[in-house]
Chain A
Amino acid sequence: MEAFTTHTGRAVPLRRSNVDTDQIIPAVWLKQVSRTGFDKGLFSAWREDPDFVLNRPEYQGASILIAGPDFGTGSSREHAVWALQQYGFRVVIAPRFGDIFRNNSTKMGLLPVVLPGDVVEKLQTRAEQEPAAEITVDLGAREVRAGDLVVPFEIDDYTRWRLMEGLDDIGLTLRHADDIAAYEQRRPGWLPTTV
């Protein structure tokens, strides 16, 4: 996983709530067996509209997405995270995220930032009025800075540490292989196996 410490970039305002993972990456794109090539599928139905915000020239190269509440609800498809990252996003800011999407994001190094609805609204307005203005998302300081606006965000210490170090979860868990083996000794014998 790519480490995340601090990121500065331009932002895209996506003024929609309940952006489910079917919109982020429609099912037809999920048939791929590789981890690459999902950038073309990002919001592919909405991108057919030339006026869709991602198609506008002023937002090309932006790396922070600012969305409405309940971003990433629905399907567990991690392809949604891959698509956002491969398109160039490093951060998604929203008032609330779908649980599985948020979890998938932190496994991949895409930073989901939860901010109150009124702050998100301010950041969206700023991105609309000044598309060239940059935002800094500082994970070390747990802070979003946009011009004069400085807002803190919450993230638990462990996830923050893992993101800042770019650590692989499986490697961390395998350090505790003895604990896993000990637990397996304690499991009741009647629990089912698939064989």
Chain B
Amino acid sequence: MGRTLAEKVYDAHVVRRAEGEPDLLYIDLHLVHEVTSPQAFDGLRMAGRTVRRPELTIATEDHNVPTTDLLRPIADPVSRTQVETLRKNCAEFGIRLHPMGDDGQGIVHVIGPQLGLTQPGMTVVCGDSHTSTHGAFGALAFGIGTSEVEHVLATQTLPQVKPKTMAVTVNGTLPEGVTAKDLILAIIARIGTGGGQGHIIEYRGEAIRSLSMEGRMTVCNMSIEAGARAGMIAPDETTFAYLKGRPHVPQGEDWDRAVEYWTSLRTDDDATFDREVVIDASELTPFVTWGTNPGQGLPLSESVPDPASFDDPVERAAAERALQYMDLTPGTPLREIAVDTVFVGSCTNGRIEDLRAVASVLKGRKVADGVRMLVVPGSMKVKQQAEEEGLHEVISAAGAEWREAGCSMCLAMNPDKLTPGERSASTSNRNFEGRQGPGGRTHLVSPAVAAATAVTGRLTAPADL
């Protein structure tokens, strides 16, 4: 019987298989950042172990990094210690690090693809749940905890039980003005935050094939918000064109050999998935969240739902609690929700196409009075490219703040955060309570909706301007 894409990549990495035990899976690329690694390096030291393959490991500073005043030391002493600890650990164990201020620095999930280190058919892990991003290349990529980080450092492998597979097929074409972010928010609302639990999602169908690599990364990035540890898209000409010429991509005859292998990485026609979901892209419109989990989303044209409209008592209770936290009244049109802050950035939407989308909406317009807008590139390279294209001038002229690269207000570990009660429209991935700062209220949106929202001060699609 045929195999799915996920099964092919998984099977190719099995180091050891024994009855009654998990498989031992080889890891091709290990990404490291400052937050989930210090205790793992400590564990190595305590056990007298080394890093087995430092040359398959790369580190960057992203979560704690301030997005202003890069030349000054980090003001928060605890953040500073964490970043300095990463530097010491990378020096001690011989791991390449892109520190703050380095032009290779950026969000871990932006720099992997940017360097060409993320390639089809690879296994990629990181102590970060949004590692699923790299699945856009047809890699099997998933987030791990600190114990597993230590395990990968020491052995370059992970014990794994083969996950189930789920197909999300998106037929048809996304209408004008509907983006990859709207699509993934709609998928999560459809299958729920636990819908993909225990599965690897493969995104397929015409609408997925039509996405750029950056759009595909946005979709795979939020697989975890649907409960799946990994999301994958079969590599194709779009993938190869993105990769060709990047620093760590094979060249010459090796490129030909690699492409031949990569081309085989597609789900066989007679393969079966454990679960299948079909979505019609042509019915989608700009999508936003109203609640405190990423599954609580609706088309922007709709209104805040009445908790009584949920049949499931668990969902009803969750909606009641979410509306209380979000300070929203059932029946309020989503377009009437006023925001204080707009955040553009993160591993979900901090790449060049996202910044272009924002600039195209902001061009010739102004951010509304009383609204603060932060635009944070996903990496220093993205920032440089945006500046070469003049996007920063459009963004600054509109009254938004043009910042340095990092995770920033996606999770508020650096100084960029919401104050209690403050409401944001954010291109990031999580609307959890307090995610962007204690007491902060988050609506997840696409970059285009974020920019239009900044202009009116209310949740708005560009078509409404």
Contact = CB atoms under 8 A, between A and B. Distances in A.
21 contacts: A16-B317, A16-B321, A22-B433, A22-B435, A26-B438, A30-B413, A31-B76, A33-B82, A68-B314, A73-B193, A74-B430, A99-B197, A99-B227, A107-B145, A170-B47, A170-B155, A179-B16, A180-B156, A184-B26, A189-B254, A194-B117
A103 interface: yes
Contacts of B122: 191
B194 A173 contact: no
B161 interface: yes
B318 A17 contact: yes
Given A69-B314, A74-B129, A100-B129, A195 B96 contact: yes
A77 B144 CA distance: 8
Contact of B257 (A74, A79, A172, A188): A188
B127 A76 contact: yes
Nearest to A35: B39
Interface string A144-168: 0000000000001110000000000
Contact of B413 (A28, A74, A81, A187): A28
Contacts of A108: 147
Interface residues of A, number: 61
Contact of A190 (B85, B258, B295): B258
A80 to B, nearest CB: 9
B406 to A, nearest CB: 13
A100 B155 contact: no
Given A31-B78, A108-B147, A192-B119, A173 B433 contact: no
B411 A176 contact: no
A126 B153 CA distance: 44
A180 B157 contact: yes
Contact of B36 (A73, A77, A117): A77
Contacts of B193: 18, 70, 73
B77 to A, nearest CB: 9
B20 interface: yes
A191 B198 CA distance: 28
A129 interface: no
Contact of B434 (A26, A34, A98, A117): A26
Contact of B314 (A17, A103, A193): A17
B26 A183 contact: yes
Contacts of A51: none
B212 interface: no
The 10 closest A-B pairs by CB, nearest first: A104-B145, A78-B145, A107-B147, A33-B38, A190-B250, A190-B254, A192-B248, A76-B143, A194-B58, A78-B146
A96 to B, nearest CB: 5
Interface string A71-107: 0011111110100000000000000111110011001
A105 B261 CA distance: 37
Contacts of B257: 188, 190
A151 to B, nearest CB: 19
Contacts of B52: 180
Interface string A117-161: 100000000000000000000000000000000000000111000
B282 interface: no
Nearest to A105: B145
A192 B249 contact: yes
Contacts of A169: 147, 151, 159
Given A33-B81, A169-B147, A194 B36 contact: no
